[in-house]
Amino acid sequence: MKSSIDKKIPSKNIFVIGYNSYHDEILQRIGGEKNYTFHNLVHMDELRGAEELRVEEMLRRAEEQLDAFDKLKDAVISFIDFPAIEMTAILGKKFGLHTPSLESVLRCNHKYWSRILQKEAAPRTVPPFAVFDPYSVEPMKDIPLNFPYWIKPVNSYNSYLGFRINNEDDLNTAIPIIREEFPRLSEPFDFIMRQADLPGDIRKLGPQVYIAESIITGFQCTLEGYVFQGEPAVYGVIDSIREANRTSFSRFQYPSKLPKHIQKRMKKIAIKIMKHIGFDNGTFNIEFFYDSEHDRIWLLEINPRLSQSHCELFEKVDGRSHHRVAIDIALGKEPDIPRRKGKFKMAAKYFVRAFSDATVVNIPVKDTIDKVRKEIPDLSLQILVDEGELLSHLKEQDSYSYELAWLWIGGNSDRELHEKHEKAMEMLGFEISAARLTQL
């Protein structure tokens, strides 16, 4: 992708791990403004939906591509989680680029290690937790928590292989699924861990362990931020609205409706924790819950990268995708973030979901999508399924639903957002057999 501005300005060569058409569309707009050239280092298809995560092979090919590049290599970036952000850190170190260290990435992404560090920095925000081996004869004996609790791999993404455990039967149902599917995550994670300088107790645990955590409740939101030259900053708070199952997301909405003083408390906690972790030269997002009944803030997890789900929310409300934040940091520049210069007062990403297995009967064709965009010009759409596809064959879904599509919509009121969403869903005409679609 080439920019069309004055070629007297030297182009910056930026390599992307997790490239796809969605990111390309946003990056083209940025490249045209700033004379950046983006290079596909690892395509998204190798990182999401692939049968195997061939991390070692992907890294080898990426290194060969970078070694063979005969111009200045200015940055390497990624907008997605494991293993892309870990690969970014490894390549950053090898080629002397502005990335977080692998160890600091793992202090966020290794859920057990991260909980230990979070508890050191902000103990009142961390629920009871424990690590356990899902392959042991009696895994429940290693979980000293009362029901209900949540279990998940020490490293995952998209709530993949995470389960809410309400009773012993739930655990007995989850364990066989974990044992069958977990190696797809744990084996590449083992390779990543072997590249890092880890504390002895963390290394001794190995990659094939799970974390159990007491359930936390309240109003959920996500703080987007970055660390530049050792100084953390938070630039946005997004509300995370869940479905009735309390697990799957219904929509993300920006800006947050939480009271400003609660947001301020969360920002203070986020900055304190990121300093304690030692994360630098990168973006992050931290998920929190606010329990208004007890006036208590809970920390769910830290992700050492921006949320790609939020990119268009910032673009619609603030006038610029936060892709620019990640790019600026990777180029060694402090980000310049506009505030409320977009077309809309608010924006949301809606999830189109099914809650039981089914076959995809109909997805919108190009003519239909064009008609919807004529009616709702600000709408963005990503379809995640094909006609005839069986939902249970989809990979990397949460344990309680299937994602069919994502819709990004801008508006100037909640009512306008919901009306646009309802009209879009009616016109798009998603149809599946024997399952219920999300309707808000």
Q: What is the pLDDT of residue 400?
A: 83
Q: What is the pLDDT of residue 290?
A: 98
User: 40-86, pLDDT tens digit by residue?
Assistant: 999 999 998 888 999 999 999 999 999 999 999 999 999 999 999 99
Six-digit token pair at 95? Answer: 């080629």
Q: Check whether 5 has a pLDDT greater than 50.
A: no
Written as one letter, the residue type at 238 is I
Residue ranges per domain, the chain?
Answer: 12-99, 128-214, 219-432
Mean pLDDT, residues 19-32 taken together? 81
Sequence-distant (≥ 6) Cβ neighbours of residue 259 within 8 angstroms: none
Q: Check whether 129 has a pLDDT greater than 60.
A: yes
- Contact indicator for 380, 372 with CB cutoff of 8 Å: no
Question: In Å, how far are 22, 420, 428 from 424, measured between CA atoms?
Answer: 19, 6, 6
Q: Check whether 396 has a pLDDT greater than 80.
A: no
Q: What is the pLDDT of residue 216?
A: 96
Phi–psi pair at 331, nearest 5 degrees? -90, 5
Q: What is the pLDDT of residue 77?
A: 96
Q: What is the pLDDT of residue 26?
A: 84
- CA dihedral for 48, 53, 54, 55, sign (positive or negative): positive
Q: What angle do CA 328, 260, 414 make, to 5 degrees?
A: 85
Q: What's the CA gap between 327 and 99, in Å, rounded?
A: 11
Helix locations, 235-306, DSSP H: 260-277
Q: What is the pLDDT of residue 30?
A: 82
- Contact indicator for 195, 63 with CB cutoff of 8 Å: no
169, burial (CB in 10 Å: exposed 0-12, middle 13-18, buried 19+): exposed
125, burial (CB in 10 Å: exposed 0-12, middle 13-18, buried 19+): buried
Over the chain, what is the mean pLDDT? 93
Q: What is the pLDDT of residue 28?
A: 83
Q: What is the pLDDT of residue 1?
A: 44
Specify the range with the lowest mean pLDDT, choosing from 33-37, 179-183, 326-330: 33-37
The pLDDT > 70 percentage for the chain reads 95
Q: What is the pLDDT of residue 242?
A: 86
User: 164-174, pLDDT tens digit by residue?
Assistant: 999 999 999 99
The pLDDT > 90 percentage for the chain reads 84
Q: Quick check: bond before 153 cis, omega within 30?
A: no
Say which residue the tokens 């940025």 belong to: 30
Q: What's the CA gap between 15 and 88, in Å, rounded?
A: 10
* Fold assignment, 219-432: D-amino Acid Aminotransferase; Chain A, domain 1 (3.30.470)
Q: Pick 243 or 358 by higher pLDDT.
A: 358
Q: What's the CA gap between 148 and 212, in Å, rounded?
A: 10
The length of the chain is 440
Q: How many helices (H) and strands (E) does the chain have?
A: 13, 17
Mean pLDDT, residues 242-264 taken together? 90
Mean pLDDT, residues 318-324 taken together? 94
Closest CA to 235 of 290, 162, 314: 314
Q: Check whether 440 has a pLDDT greater than 50.
A: no
Q: Check whether 33 has a pLDDT greater than 80.
A: no
For β-strands 282-291 and 219-228, DSSP reports them as antiparallel
Mean pLDDT, residues 272-286 taken together? 98
Single pTM value for the model: 0.92
Sequence-distant (≥ 6) Cβ neighbours of residue 58 within 8 angstroms: 42, 46, 47, 83, 87
Q: Quick check: bond before 188 cis, omega within 30?
A: no
Q: Pick 1 or 156 by higher pLDDT.
A: 156
Residue 244's pLDDT band, with cuts at 50, 70 and 90, is confident
Q: Which CATH architecture has domain 128-214?
A: 2-Layer Sandwich (3.30)
Q: What is the pLDDT of residue 439?
A: 43
Q: What's the CA gap between 289 and 107, in Å, rounded?
A: 21
Residue 27's pLDDT band, with cuts at 50, 70 and 90, is confident
Q: What is the pLDDT of residue 76?
A: 98
